[in-house]
Amino acid sequence: MNKTLLFITVLVIATCGLIYELIVGTLASYLLGDSITQFSTVIGGYLFAMGIGSWLSRFIERGVPQRFVEIELGVALLGGACAPLLFLTFALTDVFRVALYGSVLAIGTLVGLEIPLLLRILKDQVKFKDLVSQVLTFDYLGALAASISFPLFFVPKLGLVRTSLLFGLLNALVGLWSTWLLAPVLAHPTRLRVKAVLLSLLLVVGLVLGDRLTSFSEEHLYADEVVHATASPYQRIVVTRSKRGFSLYLNGNLQFSSVDEYRYHEALVHPAMVRAGRVERVLVLGGGDGLAAREILRYPEVKNVTLVDLDPAMTGLASNYGELVALNGRALADPRMHVVNTDAMKYLGEGSELWDVIVVDFPDPNNFSLGKLYTTGFYKLLKKRLAPDGVAVIQSTSPLFARRSFWCVDTTLKAAGFWTLPYHALVPSFGEWGYVLVAHEGTLPRRPLPAELRFLSEDTHATLFHFPTDMARLPVEVNRLNNQVLVHYYEEEWSRWN
């Protein structure tokens, strides 16, 4: 038996062992947030499981080399598959934590078996003091290699899924290789080799498909505990909870926090509602969470609220998810509500009825598809569907963080022929937030605000329309379908803050 090669084996398995631990810890912090808790529990659980493994090793009495190789292959399988399987579990099931700690225990236990068994294999060939010294030296060296290369190379270059599969493969190859190293003391080397080869192939296949697996939300980081996650064909919807309330994310972008969403939605809805000639027929574009609808339904004159949101998963959540239903006051169950799951641009283009108020509450223009909903092309359709004395309002990102983007929305609305009234409100979860109110013509009389509001009041309402110097208007281009300048402005401005 070649001892140098065996010590290299120790180095590799030690590296793999620590990498799995880091993968699971990182993954738990990515998906569940609160990295201190996640890393503490994962590391603690893993070390504990290694202790279980070491303890269990005493029950293995015969065929130790055989067991060793089998354990290598087991670690390769579980460790290699851990990242993709945990991502899938998170995306598709509700048992993520069970799977997380289950895999920590299983991998830890197997890894804990490795070194004791190896020591026993080598005990007759190396002096005890040399054996312990050398095995542990390589073990700790491997740990160092893993802990340095993981954050600096593997996560940025390969991502978690492929790193996991790659080390699984490495582990399987070590298993295969050790069937030769340990050949003199193995009872059935061929059988083990077949298993090792099949396992390696499986991991290679996974590695080739790794790209697709990686697309699962790996890049998202949530600060709070994730309590609900669904992937619809359109987007990934995640609800997180903290002590103070819950938050909703679409594709990793915060949509609202229950703590201060009333500020956002009151400011979105009421300035338009109190300026429109009538408020009988109201159209909401986007806003599938039903929170804008809640504000609209405060007005007894409202007869019809039509909510157009592309994603049935979003409006489904707003109708069925307990906490959200409580927050939107069962808005979607109101007999005046009509939910239409279709493309807002198509909806405006194909219909002909006029609306007294139109509330446009789309996600920010962070890609070309969403950018279309902020172009003169879209606003011309909007104008055609707004009643002569109607008012529309458009959520228009932050005039502080994305000043040019905000004024680009205003400028574009003007270019589409609207009279505009830009304003802003402070929503702590988002920061200073902007809206543009539009009508066919200027002079709009205003009715009093509803009485029961928490944010807006008659006294302070006027302050919304004043822009401090750092948010003041500046010259920008018109956002058109054929230039999409807003997407570029937006990307440039927000990248400075993120």
Our CB check for other proteins shows the closer of 467 and 490 to be 490
Q: According to CB under 8 A, which one of 2, 37, 125, 483 is a site residue for other proteins?
A: 483
- Residue 372 binds other proteins, judged by CB under 8 A: yes
Q: Judged by CB under 8 A, how many residues of this single chain contact other proteins?
A: 27
Nearest residue to 173 (alpha-carbon basis) of 145, 149, 137, 201: 201
Residue type, 253: N
Q: Min. distance of Cβ 487 from other proteins in angstroms? A: 8
Q: Min. distance of Cβ 213 from other proteins in angstroms? A: 15
What are the φ and ψ backbone dihedral angles of 264, each rounded to 5 degrees?
A: -60, -50
Our CB check for other proteins shows the closer of 268 and 486 to be 486
Q: Min. distance of Cβ 234 from other proteins in angstroms? A: 7
Q: According to CB under 8 A, which one of 18, 111, 192, 310 is a site residue for other proteins?
A: 310
- Residue 377 binds other proteins, judged by CB under 8 A: yes
Q: Which segments of 243-280 are extended strands (E)?
A: 245-250, 253-257
Nearest residue to 337 (alpha-carbon basis) of 362, 319, 360: 319
Our CB check for other proteins shows the closer of 176 and 284 to be 284
Q: Min. distance of Cβ 208 from other proteins in angstroms? A: 11
- Residue 450 binds other proteins, judged by CB under 8 A: no
Whether residue 218 contacts residue 159, with contact meaning beta carbons closer than 8 Å, is answered with: yes
- Residue 100 binds other proteins, judged by CB under 8 A: no
Residue 438 bridge partners (DSSP) = 392, 420
Our CB check for other proteins shows the closer of 343 and 389 to be 343
Our CB check for other proteins shows the closer of 305 and 310 to be 310
Strand pairing report for 253-257 and 245-250? antiparallel
Q: Which of residues 225-264 bind other proteins (CB under 8 A)?
A: 233-234
Nearest residue to 418 (alpha-carbon basis) of 397, 390, 450: 390
CA angle 395/398/402 to nearest 5° reads 125
Residue entry with tokens 């609800």: 239
- Residue 153 binds other proteins, judged by CB under 8 A: no
Q: According to CB under 8 A, which one of 18, 174, 381, 408 is a site residue for other proteins?
A: 381
- Residue 487 binds other proteins, judged by CB under 8 A: yes
Number of other CB atoms surrounding residue 277 within 10 Å = 15
Q: According to CB under 8 A, which one of 349, 389, 420, 491 is a site residue for other proteins?
A: 349
User: Would you call 426 helix, strand, or coil by DSSP?
Assistant: strand
Our CB check for other proteins shows the closer of 102 and 316 to be 316
- Residue 345 binds other proteins, judged by CB under 8 A: yes
- Residue 375 binds other proteins, judged by CB under 8 A: yes
Our CB check for other proteins shows the closer of 185 and 370 to be 370
Which range of residues in 27-35, 49-57, 189-197, 365-373 is near other proteins by CB under 8 A?
Answer: 365-373
Whether residue 307 contacts residue 293, with contact meaning beta carbons closer than 8 Å, is answered with: yes
Our CB check for other proteins shows the closer of 35 and 366 to be 366
User: Would you call 172 helix, strand, or coil by DSSP?
Assistant: helix
Q: According to CB under 8 A, which one of 93, 137, 369, 460 is a site residue for other proteins?
A: 369
- Residue 341 binds other proteins, judged by CB under 8 A: no
- The gap between the terminal CA atoms of the chain, to the nearest Å, is 55
- Residue 481 binds other proteins, judged by CB under 8 A: yes
- Residue 340 binds other proteins, judged by CB under 8 A: no
Q: Min. distance of Cβ 378 from other proteins in angstroms? A: 8
Q: How far apart are CA 76 and CA 198, in angstroms?
A: 12
Q: How far apart are CA 226 and CA 223, in angstroms?
A: 9
- State yes or no: is 139 an active-site residue: no
Residue entry with tokens 């990686």: 214
Give me 349's structure tokens.
């283009």
Our CB check for other proteins shows the closer of 245 and 349 to be 349
List b or e across 429-465, with b for residues whose CB sees 16 or more CB atoms inside 10 angstroms: bbebbbbbbbbeeeebeeeebbeebebbeeeebeebe
What is the total residue count of the chain?
498
- Residue 475 binds other proteins, judged by CB under 8 A: no
Q: Min. distance of Cβ 341 from other proteins in angstroms? A: 11
- Residue 113 binds other proteins, judged by CB under 8 A: no
Q: Which segments of 192-257 are extended strands (E)?
A: 225-231, 236-242, 245-250, 253-257
Q: Min. distance of Cβ 401 from other proteins in angstroms? A: 23
Q: According to CB under 8 A, which one of 227, 480, 491, 494 is a site residue for other proteins?
A: 480
Q: According to CB under 8 A, which one of 273, 344, 359, 402 is a site residue for other proteins?
A: 344
Q: According to CB under 8 A, which one of 306, 376, 395, 398 is a site residue for other proteins?
A: 376
Handedness of CA 451, 453, 454, 456 (dihedral sign): negative
Q: How far apart are CA 270 and CA 300, in angstroms?
A: 14
Q: How far apart are CA 242 and CA 265, in angstroms?
A: 21
- Residue 368 binds other proteins, judged by CB under 8 A: yes
Q: Which of 260, 311, 361, 410 is catalytic?
A: 361
User: Would you call 439 helix, strand, or coil by DSSP?
Assistant: strand
Taking the CA atoms of the chain, what radius of gyration do you get in angstroms?
30
State the catalytic residues: 361
Footprint on this chain of other proteins (rule: CB under 8 A):
211, 233-234, 310, 343-346, 349, 367-373, 375-377, 380-381, 480-484, 487
